[in-house]
Amino acid sequence: MFEGAITALVTPIKNGKHDEDAFRKHIDFQLANGIDGIVPCGTTGEAATMSHEEHKRLLSIAVEHTRGRAKVICGASSNCTEEALGLCEHAKKIKADAVLVVTPYYNKPTQEGLYRHFEFLARRVDIPFILYNVPSRTGVSIAPETVARLRKIPNIVGIKEASGSLDQVSQILSLCDITVLSGDDSLTLPMMSIGAKGVISVVSNVVPDGVTRMVHAALDNDWDEARKLHYELYQLFKIMFIETNPIPVKTSLKLMGHITGELRLPLCEMSKENEEKLKRILREKKVI
C-alpha cells in the first residue's frame, strides 16, 4: 500500500509565519517530478515548533492541495499520547491516507510503554499507521519484537526505520511482514536490498526525480541502475545532514529560489563554512 519515494516535506516560513503559498508550490514541485507520496509536518517539516492549530492547518492544506495525486501520510506525533490522538483523529477527518507516528521523545518509555502508546492510538483511530523509529532524535528505539507485536494490530502497516541499522531492518522483517521504509537517505538502497519498500526522504525535497528513479529502479529489480543512481546521489545524501535536519535542505531550497530558507528557533541558519560546502555539492550536481 505504501511504497516508493515519499518526501518528508519542509515547511516554508516567511517572517516567522508558515508560507502557505510556497508550501503548495513545493507540493506541486514534488508531484511534477513523480514523487509517490508526501509527509507534511514531520521532523523535516519542523512539527516540533508548531502550535496544534498550525499543525492541523498544514495537514489539511496538504491533503486538499494534493487531491489524490499522491499518498499523503500526515505527521501526527507527540510525546503526549492524548495529543497524538488528536492529530491522528484530525488526519482521519481530512481523509489522509495514513499517519506517521514517532516513538515518544524525551520521556523514554519502556518497550511496554511504546507498545501501549501505539496500541492506544491505532485502536481508536481507523487509519493506516506507520511507526517512526528515530532513536537519535527521541532517545529511545523500538525493538524489532515490539514492532512484530504491534503488527498484529491490523491498521499498523509500516515503519519508517531511521535507526541507521541494517540489522534492525533484518530483524524486523524476519519477525513480521510489515512494510519497512528507509528513514536514512544514504541507506535507502541497502535497506531495499534486504526487503524495504522505499524511503521517506529528506533529499527528495531537492531532487525528487532522482530519488524517485533510484527507488523505482530497485522496486523493478534493476539493481545496476539503482546502484548507479545511488552513487550519483550519494554526496547529496550525506551533505544534507552536515548540520541538523532540516537546516541544510531548507538552505538548498533557498539557493534554488523555492523558499526563503527561514527556520524557527531553536534551529538557525547554517554556518558559513558548511553553507559553502553545501553550495559546492549543489553546483557539482547541477542543482543550482
229-248 pLDDT, tens digit each? 999 999 999 999 999 999 99
Which of 45, 35, 60 lies closest to 12, judged by CA?
A: 45
Quick check: is 85 in a domain? yes
**228 domain residue, yes or no:** no
- Is residue 255, in this structure, part of any structural domain at all? no
Taking the model in full, what pTM does it have? 0.96
103 domain-assigned = yes
Domain-embedded: residue 198: yes
Domains held by the chain: number: 1
Per-residue pLDDT of the chain (288 residues; tens, 9 = 90+): 799 999 999 999 999 999 999 999 999 999 999 999 999 999 999 999 999 999 999 999 999 999 999 999 999 999 999 999 999 999 999 999 999 999 999 999 999 999 999 999 999 999 999 999 999 999 999 999 999 999 999 999 999 999 999 999 999 999 999 999 999 999 999 999 999 999 999 999 999 999 999 999 999 999 999 999 999 999 999 999 999 999 999 999 999 999 999 999 999 999 999 999 999 999 999 999
For residue 160, give the nearest of 145, 138, 178, 148 by alpha carbon. 178
Q: Are 40 and 59 a contacting pair, CB within 8 Å?
A: yes
**201 falls within a domain:** yes
Active site residues: 132, 160
Residue 257 lies in a domain: no
Distance CA 175, CA 160 (A): 16
The CATH number given to whatever domain includes residue 157 is 3.20.20.70
107 within domain boundaries: yes
- Domain limits for position 102: 4-220
Rounded CA separation 280/192 (Å): 29
